[in-house]
Every structure is written in C-alpha cells, then in structure tokens.
Amino acid sequence: MADKITLEVARYDPERHTEPTFEKYEVPFRKDWVILDALNYIKDRLDGSLSYRWSCRTGICGSCGMMVDGEPKLTCATFLSSYAPGPVRVEALRNFPIVRDLVIEMTDFMVKLKKVKPWIVRENEKPISQGEYLQTPEQLENYKQFSMCINCLLCYAACPVYGLDNLFTGPAAIALAQRYNLDSRDVGARERREILSDHEGIWGCTFVGECTEVCPKHVDPAGAIQQYKVDAAIDWFKSFLLPRGAK
C-alpha cells in the first residue's frame, strides 16, 4: 500500500479569488489518520496559510464539518483509509458563504437557531425551595435523540431545500425546536409553532431525508420535522373543534 495520499484542498482568499480553486498536497498515509490529521499535517508542515476550523477532535464540538469527496463529513471522524488510494477532495461545507479556504460563515444559522427559542420556556418558575423539575426516564427518552445535535451544520450542507431557498429555517434548528417542544418542563411549544408553521419553517421541508443520512449523531432531523408537522396539523384541527382555551 502507498505510504502517501493526495488531498485536493479548496483554497479561497476573498481578496484574491472570485471562487475557490484547488491545491494538491501529498501527506503521509496512515491507517489511524482522519482527514483532520491530514489537514493539520498540511498546516504544520506544508502550508501554514491554510484556514479551517477544528477544536475537540472527538466528534463533540461540530466545528470541523467539511465536504469530503462531495459528502458532508466531520473530518475528525472520517478516516483517510476510506478514500485510499486517493486523491481526496476537501471543500468548505456547501450552501454557506465561504470566509476563507474551508471556513464558512455561520451567521444565517445562528440567527435561525435563536429564532426558534432552543431553550426551556417557562411561564412561571417555582421557588428553589420547592425542588427540581424532575422527569421520568420515559419523559427523557421522549426528546433525548433530538438533544444530541452538535450544530455541525452537515444537515444544512446536505439539504436541497436550504440549498435552493436560504429562507428555509433548516433541519437542525427545527429539530432542536422539537426537542424542547417534547420536554415535559417546557411550555413554549405553541410560541415556537407560531414561528415555524409557515413555508419557511416546517412546511418547507420536502422530506428528502438527506439531513438524517449525514447526521453524525443520529439525531434524525427529518423525523423531527415530520413529527412537528403532525403536531401542528393536530393543533390546527383542535382549534376548530374545541372551545377556545380547551386542550
């Protein structure tokens, strides 16, 4: 087996380029290396000007998401050996503006995430003296899967709807909204539904399912969105059938 492998890395400097170009780098081929190891080798040994994000190296922070041979991947969890003998093409995540090289602009996602209120909403807080808000294991299991999102944005890079219409709120933000809707301590579901019950929200999703396919934490954002649609439809019918204020 070859002792080296070639990476074709997208380079983009907004002061010099109108669009990304590709530069080839030869790096050592080691079975235990992931794509991020190869990028760090390039940065440390071959070209210190290469820009990209990374932090934890353990699939927790979500910051090292990139396109690897056309697929959204966490580069800290994607082995070079899966692409031997190469070359391997590494690009910035699709569907986002590029700041430089492999670094994307995340502001659009952060605005949409804040919009859906991904935190526990309470109308009234009980005094600390009355103790904690306890949950049963079954109540935790109800939303646990959707709470595993690490905001890596791979789902946005894979989503054809977001690729065509960046007004779409997108998979991760909607899945996190549903995570809190299902939390027994939260009372903000109706407020979030008013925000997301439009074409730019849950109804914009065409259920292609690519977001779920690429999710490294098996959150299943496509499933969360479909659950949300069912809940919204039931709520809409109830508004006609039940007296105002009834549940």
Q: Which two tokens stand for residue 107?
A: 């502001």
H or E segment and range at residue 27: strand 21-28
Higher pLDDT, 38 or 199: 38
Mean pLDDT of 227-236: 87
Q: Within this chain, do residues 195 and 77 fall inside the same structural domain, yes or no?
A: no
Kindly give the pairing relationship between strand 71-74 and strand 88-91: unpaired
Model confidence pLDDT, tens digit, residues 166-189: 999 999 999 999 999 999 999 999
Examine the pLDDT at 241 and tell me if it is beyond 60: yes
Higher pLDDT, 246 or 89: 89
Residue 8 · residue 87 · CB < 8 Å: yes
- pTM for the model stands at 0.92
If you average pLDDT over every residue of the chain, what do you get?
A: 94
Model confidence pLDDT, tens digit, residues 197-221: 989 999 999 999 999 999 999 999 9
Number of domains in the chain: 2
Calculated CA dihedral for residues 216, 10, 105, 193, nearest 10 degrees: -40
Q: Cα–Cα–Cα angle for 114, 115, 119, nearest 5°?
A: 55
Question: Residue 238 has what pLDDT?
Answer: 74
Share of the chain above pLDDT 90, in %: 87
Residue 79 · residue 36 · CB < 8 Å: no
Dist CA 96 CA 110 (whole Å): 12
Question: Residue 126 has what pLDDT?
Answer: 87
Please identify, among 44, 72, 104, the residue that sits at the C-terminal boundary of a domain. 104
- pLDDT confidence tier of residue 231, bands split at 50, 70 and 90: confident
Asked if residue 16 belongs to a domain, the reply is: yes
Examine the pLDDT at 18 and tell me if it is beyond 70: yes
Mean pLDDT of 86-91: 96
Query: Can you tell me which residue has the tokens 């969890």?
Result: 77
Asked if residue 247 belongs to a domain, the reply is: no
Q: Within this chain, do residues 224 and 124 fall inside the same structural domain, yes or no?
A: yes
Dist CA 20 CA 9 (whole Å): 10
Share of the chain above pLDDT 70, in %: 96
Q: What is the CATH number of the domain that holds 30?
A: 3.10.20.30
Residue 29 · residue 118 · CB < 8 Å: no
C-alpha Rg value of the chain to the nearest Å: 21
Residue 42 structural domain: 4-104
Q: Within this chain, do residues 85 and 118 fall inside the same structural domain, yes or no?
A: no
- pLDDT confidence tier of residue 125, bands split at 50, 70 and 90: confident
